[in-house]
Amino acid sequence: MQLKEQIDNLRLPKHVAVIMDGNGRWAKEKGKLRVFGHKNGVKAVRQTVESAAEIGIKVLTLYAFSTENWNRPKLEVEMLMNLLVSSLKKELKLLLKNNISLRAIGDITTLPSRTQKMLNEVIEKTKGNTHLILNLALSYSSKEEIVNAFKNISKKIVNNELSVEEIDKNIINNHLYTRNLPNVDLVIRTSGEKRISNFLLWQIAYAELYFTSVFWPDFGKEEFYKAIIDYQQRERRFGKTSEQLK
C-alpha cells in the first residue's frame, strides 16, 4: 500500500512544525558549497508544503531562519535572504493555486527591507486563503517571543488593562506570535540532530517529536507521510493513563 493511503484522515495533526536541518552537510557530502544545499532545500520546502496541503494539514510552520542564524558568515546570510525573496516570488502561484495563506513569525523588522517587502506582499495576496496556513519562522527565537509576551502583559498590568490574577495559559498564548494558531501537535527535525533549538518552546508542550536522519534537501513527500504515519501510531495521553483514553 502507498504511504499516503496509510494515513488516517480523521486523526491528522492540526499543526506540524518542521526544523529543516542538514542543508550544509548535504552539500558537503556532494563536494558542493552550502549555498547548493540551501537551493535544494527550497525544493524540499515545496514538496513538504504540497504534501501537507494534499492530506489536509491545517497549519505548517517551517523554521527557516533563527535569530542565531544571523551569526553565520555574512555571505551565507545574504544568500539565504535572497533565496527567500526569489522563492516567495516564484511560489506565489503555487500558494494561490492551492488556497494556501502565508504568514510569518519572528522579529520580521530585522530582515532586509526587500525581504520584508516581498514577504508582506505575499502575505497580503494570500491572506484570504483557507486550506492551509504556511507559517514561516524568520529571525525567530522562542525565548525572545516569550520575553516579548512578558513585556506586553506587564505593560497591560501597569496600565490597569489586566490584573495579575487574570494571567493564565490563554493570556500567555494570546501574547505570542502564534496567538491565532492551534498548539503544535507534531515537530519534525531532519538531519539526525535531536534538539529543539529555541523553537516554539511554549507551543510544543504536548507535541510529539519526530526525528529523521534524512538531510533536509532529501526530505520529500514520502518522508513527510512517514512522519505523519509515525505520529498516528503514538498514543497521546496528555498525562492520563491508557485506560482513561478508552
Q: Name the amino acid, one letter, at 190.
A: T
The DSSP secondary-structure symbol of 184 reads P
Catalytic pick among 69, 82, 148, 183: 69
Per CB under 6 A, the list member of 15, 16, 18, 23 interacting with ligand FPP is 23
CB of 45 to ligand FPP, least distance (A): 5
State the pairing for strand pair 208-211/132-140.
unpaired
Hey, how many other C-beta atoms are within 10 angstroms of the C-beta on 212?
18
**Are 15 and 238 spatial neighbours (Cβ–Cβ below 8 Å)?**
no
- Binding residues for ligand FPP, rule CB under 6 A, total 20
Q: Which of residues 212-241 bind ligand FPP (CB under 6 A)?
A: 216
What does the angle CA 15 – CA 61 – CA 114 come to, to the nearest 5 degrees? 155
Site string for ligand FPP, 51-90 (x = CB under 6 A): -----------x-x----x----------x--xx--x---
**Alpha-carbon gap, residue 51 to 174, rounded angstroms:** 29
Site for ligand FPP in 129-188 (CB under 6 A): 136
Nearer to ligand FPP, 27 or 181 (CB): 27
Nearer to ligand FPP, 47 or 232 (CB): 47
Task: Choose between 48 and 203: whose C-beta lies nearer to ligand FPP.
Answer: 48
Residues ≥6 apart with Cβ < 8 Å to 128: 101
For residue 238, the tally of other CB atoms under 10 A from its CB is: 8
Among the candidate windows 19-27, 97-105, 167-175, 235-243, which touches ligand FPP by CB under 6 A?
19-27
**13 contacts ligand FPP (rule: CB under 6 A):** no
User: Are 224 and 200 within 8 A, CB to CB?
Assistant: no
Residue with grid cell 527591507, as numbered in its chain: 113
Which among 60, 1, 17, 50 has a CA at the least distance from the CA of 197?
A: 17
Q: How far is the CB of 38 from ligand FPP (least distance, A)?
A: 5
Q: Closest residue (Cβ) to ligand FPP?
A: 24
Verify whether residue 69 is a known catalytic residue. yes
State the alpha helices, DSSP H only, in the chain: 23-29, 34-55, 74-97, 113-126, 142-158, 169-173, 221-232, 242-245
CA distance 131 to 44: 20
Q: Catalogue the active-site residues.
A: 21, 69
List interacting residues with ligand FPP (CB under 6 A): 20-25, 38, 41-42, 45, 62, 64, 69, 80, 83-84, 87, 136, 191, 216
